[in-house]
A and B are shown apart, each in its own frame.
Chain A
């Protein structure tokens, strides 16, 4: 596009980037400092940086327990999305009666934010007897409509002749999905894994509602609890923040392309 003023554009973008990165610096600086974090004026560079706050987080609060819960829920959500969405996505590439109805149903479900359904969703979970369990935490996250459409698009890109050949060879539908379609749809699988991981890892409101015991709490809940109990002590809270953010940042930086494709496929699919 325009080729003039590259320096002006760099300057604006550097300012924007600074605004985006500054909060990260501010929290990191506090996380590795020992002094009174409320001293004024605040130091811009950390004095004697060390990692004791991180050790504190690991031992003072049930961090390993929160981590385990988060890992279990995320693992369930990722497995559910990868498998269930693939099956549903494959079904949607086939012709069957009432297909339009199913598509319409899925697309209208996309407009219902989960937060708008929490009261009955809580009551339903209570009836299913999954309150305060890992399954209950993961259940609403097991399948995602956007991800079903990502699979559908990937499967539709596979040449029809290949599928027909497999069918003539006598492969069952299950085997066609497992041995023909899925190996050719690796980017779609990656997108499913990443979106399911990020969404379940960050999920807060649902765990807040359906967990009762501290043993069932996930990392975001542990963080919120830490905030309300130990607010005024040290930089440990901010060390906790850094520890919780790291996996998300790493996953995102490693798989940025798949993540963005997943989010923007909503843009082309409606």
Chain B
């Protein structure tokens, strides 16, 4: 018995060691490039530090500067909120397209592919394409507007304080709408058909079926879309950097581009870390809010 237990114990230890070995490389990467940076950001945000100076504890100094004195920060925060606020519009559009594509319509897979095509493309290239679309001289939009006689002088969309942010947001929607559509399509296809049949037999009109069956059953997918939209405010760096680099002035500055400029433009890593902490807190808060709006457990993860 003792020998058997010892043998079993050794085998168990060996198995455990193997599992640890299998997990270690991936976990090391996530530790190095996700978790440790998250903590380091927080520490750095309370310090005065740059590659030239030794670190010094300064408490809330950076946050004080950010909230009380830094107008660019407020502008970037506002722009980021506008950016996030555009996500529901994109999701609603995507839902419309998903509903049209999710049917026995002939050619539906072709439409689906076309709408989704823009998502996997290099954002830098997308930014350049759309700069060209918005161009004052050879751009598509100016050509259309001028041909239609709506404007006399060409408009510099990306150079205008009022139009630059909406213009970049339109580009962003163009790129991510396919992703929203795919997520919603997956959700639509998981709704049991018999629910619709039962509703039809009961004489429920189409809009009632949509409101009472489709929307509630889509909640997890809608929540996922909302999270994608929130994360998108972080990942949109490429697009803004290429299209306007935050300009004109700071009209299209997002928090993430401001973080980049503070960190790598002005070598103020500590201040950039403080802004990162604020943006991450904002992201967490909005995610919890979205989860609550989706009815609590909508995005609950399956554990094991």
Q: How far is the CA of A100 from the CA of B25 in the complex (A)?
A: 18
Tell me the smallest distance from the CB of B30 to a CB of chain A, in Å.
5
A3, A20, A264, A268: the one contacting B182 at CB < 8 Å is A264
Given contacts A107-B301, A116-B276, A118-B260, contact A20 B114 (CB under 8 A): yes
Is A61 part of the binding interface, using a Cβ–Cβ cutoff of 8 Å?
Answer: no
Is A119 part of the binding interface, using a Cβ–Cβ cutoff of 8 Å?
Answer: yes
B231: which A residues are within 8 A, CB to CB? Answer: 113
Interface pair B301/A16, CB less than 8 Å apart: no
B97, B104, B242: the one contacting A3 at CB < 8 Å is B104
Interface pair A252/B272, CB less than 8 Å apart: no
Number of interface residues of B (CB under 8 A): 99
Interface pair A205/B22, CB less than 8 Å apart: no
Nearest residue (CB) in B for A245 is B125
A269: which B residues are within 8 A, CB to CB? Answer: 301-302
B133: which A residues are within 8 A, CB to CB? Answer: 23, 26
Interface pair B182/A26, CB less than 8 Å apart: no
Among listed A5-13, A52-60, A158-166, interface-contacting one: A5-13
Given contacts A12-B100, A13-B101, contact A105 B263 (CB under 8 A): no
Q: How far is the CA of A37 from the CA of B136 in the complex (A)?
A: 12
Instruction: Give residues 239-253 of A contacting B (CB, 8 Å).
Output: 241, 244-245, 248-249, 251-253
Is A230 part of the binding interface, using a Cβ–Cβ cutoff of 8 Å?
Answer: no
Interface pair B103/A205, CB less than 8 Å apart: no
Is A178 part of the binding interface, using a Cβ–Cβ cutoff of 8 Å?
Answer: no
Q: How far is the CA of A104 from the CA of B304 in the complex (A)?
A: 10
A96, A106, A223, A267: the one contacting B220 at CB < 8 Å is A267
The secondary-structure label for the interface of chain A is helix
Instruction: Give residues 102-138 of A contacting B (CB, 8 Å).
Output: 102-107, 109, 111-124
Interface pair B238/A205, CB less than 8 Å apart: yes
A105: which B residues are within 8 A, CB to CB? Answer: 27, 30, 35
A84: which B residues are within 8 A, CB to CB? Answer: 25-26, 29
Given contacts A13-B100, A263-B182, contact A118 B22 (CB under 8 A): no
Given contacts A20-B118, A42-B143, contact A223 B104 (CB under 8 A): no
Is A185 part of the binding interface, using a Cβ–Cβ cutoff of 8 Å?
Answer: no
Nearest residue (CB) in B for A223 is B124
B29: which A residues are within 8 A, CB to CB? Answer: 84, 139-140, 142-143
Interface pair A140/B105, CB less than 8 Å apart: no
B25: which A residues are within 8 A, CB to CB? Answer: 84, 87-88, 142-143
Interface pair A201/B34, CB less than 8 Å apart: no
Interface pair B113/A119, CB less than 8 Å apart: no
Tell me the smallest distance from the CB of B134 to a CB of chain A, in Å.
10
Is B70 part of the binding interface, using a Cβ–Cβ cutoff of 8 Å?
Answer: no
B30, B38, B276: the one contacting A106 at CB < 8 Å is B30
A94: which B residues are within 8 A, CB to CB? Answer: 15, 19
Instruction: Give residues 1-59 of A contacting B (CB, 8 Å).
Output: 1-3, 6, 9-10, 12-13, 16-17, 19-24, 26-27, 30, 37-42
A13: which B residues are within 8 A, CB to CB? Answer: 97, 100-101, 105, 111
Tell me the smallest distance from the CB of B301 to a CB of chain A, in Å.
3
A111, A117, A224, A253: the one contacting B242 at CB < 8 Å is A224
Is B269 part of the binding interface, using a Cβ–Cβ cutoff of 8 Å?
Answer: yes
Q: How large is the interface on A (under 10, 10 to 19, 20 to 34, 35 or more residues)?
A: 35 or more
Interface pair A23/B130, CB less than 8 Å apart: yes
Q: How far is the CA of A16 from the CA of B115 in the complex (A)?
A: 8
Is B196 part of the binding interface, using a Cβ–Cβ cutoff of 8 Å?
Answer: yes
B227: which A residues are within 8 A, CB to CB? Answer: 111
Is B194 part of the binding interface, using a Cβ–Cβ cutoff of 8 Å?
Answer: no
Interface pair B41/A96, CB less than 8 Å apart: no
Nearest residue (CB) in B for A90 is B22
Instruction: Give residues 97-111 of B contacting A (CB, 8 Å).
Output: 97, 100-107, 111
Given contacts A17-B111, A120-B273, A270-B299, contact A10 B30 (CB under 8 A): no
Q: How far is the CA of A176 from the CA of B72 in the complex (A)?
A: 57
Interface pair A244/B276, CB less than 8 Å apart: no
Tell me the smallest distance from the CB of B223 to a CB of chain A, in Å.
10
Q: How far is the CA of A102 from the CA of B26 in the complex (A)?
A: 11
Q: How far is the CA of A143 from the CA of B27 in the complex (A)?
A: 9
* Sample of 14 more A-B contacts, CB < 8 Å, known A20-B117, A118-B263: A16-B111, A27-B132, A102-B23, A105-B30, A115-B234, A116-B38, A116-B276, A117-B37, A117-B41, A139-B33, A140-B29, A173-B15, A204-B238, A219-B122
Q: 9 A-B contacts, Cβ less than 8 Å apart?
A: A16-B115, A41-B143, A42-B140, A88-B23, A96-B16, A115-B256, A116-B41, A119-B276, A139-B32
Closest CB pairs A-B (n = 6): A270-B301, A117-B37, A120-B37, A120-B40, A91-B22, A38-B137
Q: Which B residues have a C-beta under 8 Å from some C-beta of A?
A: 15-16, 18-19, 21-23, 25-27, 29-30, 32-38, 40-41, 44, 97, 100-107, 111, 113-118, 120-126, 128-130, 132-133, 135, 137-140, 143, 146-147, 154, 174, 178-179, 182-183, 186-187, 196, 206, 220-221, 224, 227, 231, 234-235, 237-238, 241-242, 256, 259-260, 263-264, 269, 272-273, 276, 279-280, 283-284, 287, 299-304
